[in-house]
Amino acid sequence: MLELRFSSGVLFLWLVCCGLVPMVKSGIGVNWGTISSHRLKPSTVVDLLRENKISKVKLFEADSDVLRALMGSGIQVMVGIPNEMLPLLSSSTAAADLWVRQNVSAYVGRGGADIRFVAVGNEPFLSSYNGQFENLVMPAILNIQQSLVKANLGGYIKLVVPCNADAYQSSALPSQGAFRPELTQIMTQLVQFLNSNGSPFVVNIYPFLSLYNNGDFPQEYAFFEGTTHAVQDGSNVYTNAFDGNYDTLVAALVKLGYGQMPIVIGEIGWPSDGAVGANITAAKVFNQGLINHIASNKGTPLRPNAPPMDVYIFSLLDEGAKSTLPGNFERHWGIFSFDGQAKYPLNLLLGNKELKNARNVEYLPSRWCVANPSSDLTNVVNHMKLACSVADCTTLNYGGSCNEIGEKGNISYAFNSYYQLQMQDSQSCDFDGLGMVTFLDPSVGDCRFLVGVTDKGSDSSTSQTTYQWWILVLVMILHGTFWLSM
């Protein structure tokens, strides 16, 4: 068995080196998340994608408004199924049939959305889930695959499972990579399925998190600019965390006998705010370095001249309503701000030298809520807590772009964030007389006081609403009262 595992990896490298494996240019795509308090119209976002010649997009759920906007765009789509739906889809073929019909079949076809992949779960093997979803993944995949076949889509739409990089591990060197022991069996089943159906292995790699979570992690090793902390692995030398992490996965796949399996990077990026090390400069350097590295077609030491099949940058837009449990930076991964404005120059190497901003964004009037200078702000703490419990104040924290604007600046920022979230309702700037509306932009340096957008018709409750609807479907199916002919 060891000989077979070794030979499959060596064979892949030999075929590449001999030119017998065709060199395919990696596709650059983006993750489009929608957990935002100020959500752009989907049609505006699709126009933004097309303006920037981005031809691949990954969605975390089957949002009907988003899928309708993508119809006829020519953009290739990966549609996600949230982890919360895995219990239902793994236990009911009827539910799987319904999901495919309503979220895939309804949008594909002539002039429809170009759905290429369905992502079953999102990092379902994450160690922090304590195995909650592990035994649901394969049954869900098999049910969805069966449903795609019934819909005559089984040969065109591929199923994948985006995995966090913690699914595999290494004691020290990439060549020693292996899947976590408790995942060996299910990973073997998964890669067998992927291989038999022509699907890639999808992995999310975050050098930023390695740096953020480990004070001893060499900062320059997280980037692509060279390092004095290179990792020597036999004859192979690693100068950046991405290559090392990627080849750890390659080694893990080789150990299962699938060293030739194509790999897609489902998420990778760098946040621009909300923590030390999360800033505009670092985000630009990392993302441009990543794009240049992938475009060079150099590959990695274990896969020379064979870069990932596709790379999806995380993320397209900031998502101001995301959970901050991992860190305040979670709301600041976008290469564009929430309103579709480029944060920094970035050449995606897709035809434009720089990012192009979203057009025709419908903003609220140019006015802001700030602390009233004539008021006694002694008792403002509770008002700030209220504002920041609802609105996004993460840039005020240590390492954030608004961390050094002073006490009154902090108060004004919190007040304004709440005011914009409430669509500039006059009462939302009262705060017992402590707030006032101004028409002078209070932004200071890199600290931007936002003005909201007018599209209140779409909000961040979509995922929860969808999940609740599917729970209702489950109850009805179990009671035999749901007609699939609806």
Instruction: Take residue 457 and report the two structure tokens written for it.
Output: 């018709």
279 three-class SS: coil
Copy the structure tokens of residue 76: 């290739």
DSSP 3-state assignment of 394?
Answer: helix
- Sign of the Cα torsion 321, 323, 324, 328 reads negative
Q: Is 76 helix (H, G, I), strand (E, B) or coil?
A: strand
80 phi and psi angles, rounded to 5 deg: -100, 150
pLDDT of residue 26: 86
CA distance 363 to 453: 4
Average pLDDT for 234-250? 98
DSSP run (H or E) holding 119: strand 114-120
Could you tell me what percentage of the chain is helix, strand and coil, using 3-state DSSP and rounding each to the nearest 5?
A: 40, 15, 45
Q: What is the mean pLDDT of residues 228-250?
A: 97
Residue 25 has pLDDT above 90, yes or no: no
Retrieve residue 455's tokens. Answer: 């599209």
Residue with tokens 């030398």, as numbered in its chain: 237
Rounded CA separation 407/414 (Å): 11
Confidence of residue 308 (pLDDT cuts 50, 70, 90): very high
| Alpha-carbon gap, residue 166 to 204, rounded angstroms | 9
Q: What is the pLDDT of residue 171?
A: 79
- Strand 27-32: give its sheet, edge to edge: 158-160, 114-120, 76-81, 56-59, 27-32, 310-313, 263-268, 201-204, 163-164
Query: How far apart, in whole angstroms, are the C-alpha atoms of residue 70 and residue 42?
Result: 8
Alpha helices in 52-130 (DSSP H): 64-70, 86-91, 93-100
State pLDDT tens for residues 101-135: 999 999 999 999 999 999 999 999 999 999 999 99
CA atoms of 280 and 355, how far apart (whole Å) = 14
How much is the mean pLDDT over the chain?
91
Mean pLDDT, rounded, for 53-71: 98
pLDDT-derived band at 374 (thresholds 50, 70, 90) equals very high
Rounded CA gap, 258 and 241, in Å? Answer: 23
Q: Is 250 exposed, middle or buried (0-12, 13-18, 19+ CB in 10 A)?
A: buried
- Of all residues in the chain, what percent carry a pLDDT higher than 90? 87
Is pLDDT at 456 greater than 60 in this prediction?
Answer: no
pLDDT at res. 24? 54
DSSP string for residues in 406-426 = HHHHHHHHHHHHHHHHTTT-G
User: Which of the residues are catalytic?
Assistant: 123, 267
The model's confidence at residue 317, banded by pLDDT at 50, 70 and 90, is: very high
Residue 20 reports pLDDT greater than 70: no
Helix 93-100 crosses helix 462-478 at what angle (to 10 degrees)? 140
- Residues 151-207 have pLDDT tens digits of 999 999 999 999 999 999 987 899 999 999 999 999 999 999 999 999 999 999 999
Do 107 and 115 contact (CB within 8 A), yes or no? yes
Position 479 pLDDT exceeds 70:
no
- CA angle 358/362/366 to nearest 5° reads 110
What confidence score (pLDDT) does residue 10 get?
42
For residue 80, list its beta bridge partners: 119
Domains of the chain, earliest start first: 27-336 (3.20.20.80), 368-438 (no CATH)
Band of residue 476 on the pLDDT scale cut at 50, 70, 90 = low
475 band by pLDDT with thresholds 50, 70 and 90: low
pLDDT, mean of residues 289-309: 97
Mean pLDDT of 396-414: 96
In 3D space, the residue among 314, 441, 311 whose CA is nearest the CA of residue 368 turns out to be: 441
At 461, the pLDDT band (50, 70, 90 cuts) reads: very low
Query: Looking at this protein, which amino acid is placed at residue 409?
Result: G
Residue 68 has pLDDT above 50, yes or no: yes
Whether 477 shows a pLDDT value over 90: the answer reads: no
